[in-house]
Structure 1
Amino acid sequence: MSERIAATIVTGFLGAGKTTLIRHLVEATRDRRLALLINEFGDVGVDGEILRACGDEDCERPHIVELANGCLCCTVAEDFAPAIEALLALDSPPEHVIIETSGLALPKPLVKAFDWPRIRSRLFVDGVVAVVDGPAVAEGRFADDLEALARERADDASLDHDNPLEEVFEDQIACADIIVLNKTDLLDPQEEARVMEILRAGVGRASILRARHGVVDPRVALGLGATIQADLANRPTHHDAEEEHDHDDFESFVLDLAPADDPERLVALLSEVAAAHDVLRMKGFVEVTGKPMRLLVQGVGARFLHHYDRPWKIGEPRASRLVVIGRKGLDRAKVAQRLSGR
């Protein structure tokens, strides 16, 4: 039997910087055949496009499989297993597989899938890396009162919460071997100390790495040799007692926009709308009038980044499309009306 292939699961909430981390790992790892399995919540494949458009010839080297409009933790049998089997059937199969879960995915069900006979004989989980958006934690995105949460956690580790954002966040870091505290450049020392306190209260044996723009040593993130499959029972989640789970607390939709005349004004409007309607995530590509380049727009809450990522390809539709993700009950009509009437 051929030697089993290592797989690294990269998890983290919406906009934490998972794709940025993976892009760095691809660029910094030149001595290994990598395959990337990218899963997104929403049917605009932004993350795979970011990985393909990095401008470095090594970014074309990995085999990239995209699974859009779903969540691997819910569709293991339908999506994950066939995708893995397709990768293993390549003439030159990968030496390492990196799996990016959607921002709403729970990593534990995915890890369990590696015990399936059809997968276990070929792959093993080398480790789970959870990427954390430091400013989002500092802003209280995952808890109403961070200091109170830390005290409660110290008193009762099994304390239950009804905040769906918090539950997904906690499940992701509880399953991790390494926590990457990302975007530390956006934190002042007091905020960073408070975020570190919260993370330490919610993790077990995981190491915590500070990072800017997802830059970590690939020798640390890949090749962990973790024993997560044997240790899975000791990594509790809010959903252990459930036979299955869903994401009914969240919803997404795709918004088609007219070309933008002024990118700065558009991004300012997106930030305003996201704040007004508590949008969790916006991302997509925009056509700018008179520009040959495609504008990549990404937002976490009201924080937005944008830049021209590559020229539009010949014959490629110059569509402006954004995926919008929020909690259940997000007023799609008002969001669309505000952005369409800009």
Structure 2
Amino acid sequence: MLAKTPVTIVTGFLGAGKTTLIRHLMANAGGRRLALIINEFGDVGVDGDLVKGCADAACPEEAIIELANGCICCTVADDFAPALTALIAREPKPDHIVVETSGLALPKPLIKAFDWPELRTRLTIDGVVAVVDAAAVAEGRFADDPARVAEQRLNDPSLDHDNPLEEVYEDQLMSADLVVLNKADLVGPDRLNSLRMEIAAALPRAVKIAPAREGVIGADVLLGIRAAAEDDLNARPSHHDAEGEHDHDDFDTFVVAVPAVRDPEAFIDRLIAATRAHDILRIKGFVEVAGKPLRMLVQGVGRRFRRDFERPWGANEARHSRLVVIAQRGVDRDAVTAALGG
């Protein structure tokens, strides 16, 4: 165990705050040499860009590997394992590797990969951290509307109803060694306490649940769990255990290019309206604001959006305004593009 490099897998649904948590960890690493694997469901690396902006001596940019355009749970052999192998070959070797999965990734296939002989002898899963958006869970984002499901089944008795959002969310929780109940400031104390009890009751074993705001969790809490999760697979059930392969056919992602924005507030209102009209799961991206030297980071989950002037545009950087849209399969891309102003 002592000779193995520990790996922490940070999972959690779209917009839960995984990247924010990792950026805080990078800034407060406590002298540890970190290496990162960042995965996104889409071909524009917004999260990777944000994390690379925090690179420093403890975690240089060359120790950050970005895997875009697909979830690594489906490309373990082709992408994930080679990325791990490349990081542990670095000199000096990292003290700890952190993996940020896509918001739609299932952790179980990644955990299984650490049982491969070429990885088992050199790496161990220190812990699986599931980041949860407290406000989204409180709003019932991952729970079916029973009346709606009953109506669907009444109209079609043969319907085998599945909720892909709920399944992904529950799979992420059931693999966790630590649950970070993020955005705790967006729900009241009583509701937060009831959420903790609901999550604890849904977990297959006792797991620490830690509330957080803006992903602020100490490195000593996130790292050093020593779970050796690869030896504990049976305690981490998955809705997909019986499947030979897993895909993401229930979800769709695409990029919308938009012109420079003149009124940021009106632009955010437009995104909220589009999300409401088309039931979009996640929107994120960088946007040019006319006359401003800083690029604007836009992030939205459900109908909650925030914008931040994140950094100046580079001197030779093309000021492209592009938004990554993630929705359930069947969304009208043309209508969404038009609604976003693309």
When normalised by structure 2's length, the TM-score is 0.92
Deviates more, 1:195-204 or 1:251-260: 195-204
Query: Structure 1: how far apart are the matches of 2:172 and 2:233?
Result: 13
Q: Percent identity?
A: 58
Q: Secondary structure at the match of 2:74?
A: coil
**Kept after mapping to 1: 8 A contact 2:35/2:59:** no
Q: Secondary structure at the match of 2:306?
A: strand
Deviates more, 1:129-138 or 1:42-51: 42-51
**Kept after mapping to 2: 8 A contact 1:14/1:281:** yes
Query: 1:41 is matched with which residue?
Result: 41
Query: 1:338 is matched with which residue?
Result: 339
Q: How does 1:66-215 map to 2 (within 5 A)?
A: 66-144=66-144, 162-203=162-203, 204-215=205-216
Query: Structure 2: how far apart are the matches of 1:247 and 1:229?
Result: 24
**Kept after mapping to 1: 8 A contact 2:200/2:206:** no
1:260 matched to 2:261? The reply is yes
Using the TM superposition, give the Cα deviation of residue 123 of structure 1 relative to its aligned residue in structure 2, in angstroms: 0.8
Using the TM superposition, give the Cα deviation of residue 164 of structure 1 relative to its aligned residue in structure 2, in angstroms: 0.5
Query: 1:238 is matched with which residue?
Result: 239
**Kept after mapping to 2: 8 A contact 1:27/1:59:** no
Using the TM superposition, give the Cα deviation of residue 171 of structure 1 relative to its aligned residue in structure 2, in angstroms: 0.4
Query: Structure 1: how far apart are the matches of 2:63 and 2:3?
Result: 20
Query: Structure 1: how far apart are the matches of 2:189 and 2:60?
Result: 38
The alignment's C-alpha RMSD in Å is: 2.0
The aligned amino acid for 2:249 is D
1:284 matched to 2:285? The reply is yes
For residues 62-111 of structure 1, give each alpha carbon's deviation from its aligned partner in whole angstroms, at most 9, with x where no partner exists.
Answer: 72110001111100011011111211222222110000000000001000
Query: Structure 1: how far apart are the matches of 2:285 and 2:309?
Result: 12
The aligned amino acid for 2:201 is A
Change (3 A) 1:228 1:57: closer
Q: How does 1:50-61 map to 2 (within 5 A)?
A: 50-54=50-54, 60=60
Using the TM superposition, give the Cα deviation of residue 165 of structure 1 relative to its aligned residue in structure 2, in angstroms: 0.3
The aligned amino acid for 1:184 is A
For residues 241-293 of structure 1, give each alpha carbon's deviation from its aligned partner in whole angstroms, at most 9, with x where no partner exists.
Answer: 01111011001000101010111111111111111111000000001111111
Using the TM superposition, give the Cα deviation of residue 28 of structure 1 relative to its aligned residue in structure 2, in angstroms: 1.0
Query: 1:310 is matched with which residue?
Result: 311
**Kept after mapping to 1: 8 A contact 2:280/2:326:** yes
Q: Secondary structure at the match of 1:20?
A: helix
**Kept after mapping to 2: 8 A contact 1:274/1:302:** yes
Q: Secondary structure at the match of 2:296?
A: strand
Question: Which consecutive residues of structure 1, in runs of 5 or more, have no partner in the other structure?
Answer: 147-159
Query: 1:221 is matched with which residue?
Result: 222
Using the TM superposition, give the Cα deviation of residue 54 of structure 1 relative to its aligned residue in structure 2, in angstroms: 4.5
Q: Secondary structure at the match of 1:49?
A: helix
The aligned amino acid for 1:79 is D
Change (3 A) 1:211 1:145: farther
Using the TM superposition, give the Cα deviation of residue 61 of structure 1 relative to its aligned residue in structure 2, in angstroms: 6.6
Q: Secondary structure at the match of 1:214?
A: coil
Q: Secondary structure at the match of 2:327?
A: strand
Change (3 A) 1:308 1:166: same
Change (3 A) 1:124 1:212: same
**Kept after mapping to 2: 8 A contact 1:134/1:183:** yes
Q: Secondary structure at the match of 1:65?
A: strand
**Kept after mapping to 2: 8 A contact 1:33/1:62:** no
Query: Structure 1: how far apart are the matches of 2:59 and 2:259?
Result: 31
Using the TM superposition, give the Cα deviation of residue 190 of structure 1 relative to its aligned residue in structure 2, in angstroms: 3.3
Q: Secondary structure at the match of 1:330?
A: coil
Query: Structure 1: how far apart are the matches of 2:294 and 2:174?
Result: 41
Query: Structure 2: how far apart are the matches of 1:243 and 1:115?
Result: 17
- Where has structure 1 moved over 3 Å in runs of 4 or more? 54-62
Q: Secondary structure at the match of 1:47?
A: helix
Query: Structure 1: how far apart are the matches of 2:86 and 2:2?
Result: 16
Q: Secondary structure at the match of 2:298?
A: strand
Question: Which consecutive residues of structure 2, in runs of 5 or more, have no partner in the other structure?
Answer: 147-159
**Kept after mapping to 1: 8 A contact 2:71/2:105:** yes
Query: Structure 2: how far apart are the matches of 1:328 and 1:281?
Result: 13
The aligned amino acid for 1:144 is D
